[in-house]
Amino acid sequence: MARRRLTEQQKNRIAKIQEQRRRRAADAADQALAGATTANEQMGRVVVRHGRSLLLRTDCGRDVHAMFRANLGEVVCGDRVLWQQTSNDEGIVTAVQPRTTALSRPDYNGQDKAIAANITQLVVVLAVRPEPAGYLLDQYLVAAERIGVTGLICLNKMDLLHDDERTVFRARFAPYVKIGYPVIEISAKADHGLDPLLERLRGQTSILVGQSGVGKSSLINAVIPRGNVLEGQLSDATGLGRHTTSAATLYDLHSGGELIDSPGVRSFRLGSVSRAELARGYREFLPYLGRCRFHNCAHVNEPGCAVLAAAQHGDIAAARIESYQHLLAETNAGE
Ligand SMILES: Nc1nc2c(ncn2[C@@H]2O[C@H](COP(=O)(O)OP(=O)(O)OP(=O)(O)O)[C@@H](O)[C@H]2O)c(=O)[nH]1
Ligand SMILES: [Mg+2]
Ligand SMILES: [Zn+2]
C-alpha cells in the first residue's frame, strides 16, 4: 500500500515537472518567434507594384525590392507594409497595414480593385487635348467624395491656348469653382503655374488621375527632379496618349507631400454605388438631400424634388444634374 502511494505521488510530481517544462519550452518558442519577427520587421511604403513584385521605400528613404505572398491579398501603390530583409536590397512583405483610404475601380470581372492606397487628395488632370471625355471629371469627383478625400481640378497644357481660348476653356469649369473645388491652371511642359499646385500638394498624398495623354507623367517630371518618368506621345490618329504609364507610382515631393502618377484611362467606372451614395457624391446636392417629397426620390423627374427645384432656381448647375442622371442610369444604382 505504502509503496503504491509513493508511486502515485512520484507519478504526480513527474507529471507536474513535465508540464512545467513543456510550458517553459512553449513560452520560450513563442518568445523566440516573436523576437525573430519583430527584430527583423521594418515598415515600408509601396512605391510601385509589378505583378507579385514590389518596390518599397523604407523609413530611411532606401528603395528595396520585395515579394509578397498571395495570401496577403492585393498590395498596391501607397500601401504601408511590414517587411523583412532577405538580402541586401531585397525583402519579403509579411503584413499590410490597414488602409485609411483606397481609390478603386472595377476590373474586367466587375470586382472593385484598388489602384492606390492611403491617399488624401485626388487631382483630376484635364487638358484641352485630348478633349475632356464626358462625365469623367464628375465620376472622379464622386469617387473622391465617397472615399472622403479632397478633390482638386488641374487644367494642364494651358500653353496650347490663346488668351480668348483660355477664357472659354476656363469658363467650362466655373461651376466647379462655385461648389468649392479648386481649379488650377498649369503647363507642365513650360513649368508654368506649378507653385500654386505644389502649395496644394504639400502635406498630402495626392494621386494624379485622368485620361491618357493629359500630361500626368509630364507633371511628375516637372516637379520631381530626376523623376525621369516615361512620357507618352499623343497619337495623331486617335488624339489619345501612346506609350503610357502602366502602373501607379509614388514620388516624394521636395516641397512636401507625396504624388502618385497613375495610368491614364479612357473612361473611369464607379464601382458598386448606391443611388444615395451617388447623390451624395455631388456635393452641391447635400443641402437638398432629405428634403424631397419622396424619401426614396431619385432626383430624376419626381414631383416635389428639392434637388430639381434647386436646379431650376439655378442653384445647381444644369450640367451637373444631367451628369448625375446619366451616371445613375449607367451604374444602375439601386436605392
Ligand atoms: N503643350 C503641352 N504639351 C504637354 C504638356 N504636358 C504634357 N504634354 C504632352 O502631352 C503628351 C502626353 O503626356 P504624358 O505626360 O505622357 O501624359 P499622361 O497623362 O502621363 O498619359 P498616360 O500615362 O497615358 O496616362 C506628351 O507628348 C507631352 O509632351 C503641356 O503642359 N503642354
Ligand atoms: Mg503617364
Ligand atoms: Zn429628389
- Over the stretch 100-157, which tens digit does the pLDDT of each residue have? 999 998 888 888 899 999 999 999 999 999 999 989 999 999 999 999 999 999 999 9
Q: Supply the CATH number for residue 290's domain.
A: 1.10.40.50
Residue 314 falls inside a structural domain = yes
Ligand 1, pocket residues at CB < 6 Å:
156-157, 159-160, 187-189, 212-218, 231-234, 241, 244-245, 263-264
Ligand nearest to the CA of 328: 3
* Contact call for residues 134 and 182 (beta carbons, < 8 A): no
Confidence (pLDDT) at 229:
60
Phi, psi angles (nearest 5°) of residue 309: -65, -40
Per-residue pLDDT, 24: 74
Q: Is residue 108 situated within a structural domain?
A: no
- The pTM for the full model equals 0.86
Residue 157 and residue 281 in one domain: no
Any domain includes 6: no
In a domain, 3, yes or no: no
Identify the CA nearest to 134 among candidates 325, 278, 300, 332: 325
Question: Are 195 and 241 found together in one domain?
Answer: yes
Are 257 and 284 in the same domain? no
Q: What is the pLDDT of residue 3?
A: 53
Tell me how far apart the alpha carbons of residues 174 and 232 are, in angstroms, rounded to a whole number: 29
Distance (angstroms) between ligand 2 centre and the Cα of 104 equals: 18
Contact 114, 103 (CB under 8 A): yes
Least Cα distance to 220 among 180, 189, 181 occurs for: 189
pLDDT at residue 1 in the model: 43
pLDDT at 197: 97
CATH of the domain at 136: 3.40.50.300
* Distance separating alpha carbons of residues 108 and 279, to the nearest angstrom: 25
Pocket residue to mutate for ligand 1, from 231, 260, 268, most atoms within 8 A of Cβ:
231
Q: Please check whether residues 238 and 324 belong to one and the same domain.
A: no
Domain containing residue 92 = 40-96
- Whether residue 130 sits in one domain with residue 77: no
pLDDT < 50 positions in the chain? 1-2, 33, 35-36, 235-237, 241
pLDDT at 226: 67
Does one domain contain both 282 and 233?
no
Beta bridge partners of 33: none
Burial, 180: exposed, middle or buried (Cβ in 10 Å; 0-12, 13-18, 19+)?
exposed
- Say whether both 146 and 245 belong to one domain: yes
- 147 within domain boundaries: yes
Domain count, the chain: 3
> Distance from the CA of 244 to the center of ligand 1, in angstroms?
9
List the beta bridge partners of residue 170: none
Closest ligand 1 atom to residue 232 Cα is 16
**Residue 243 domain flag:** yes
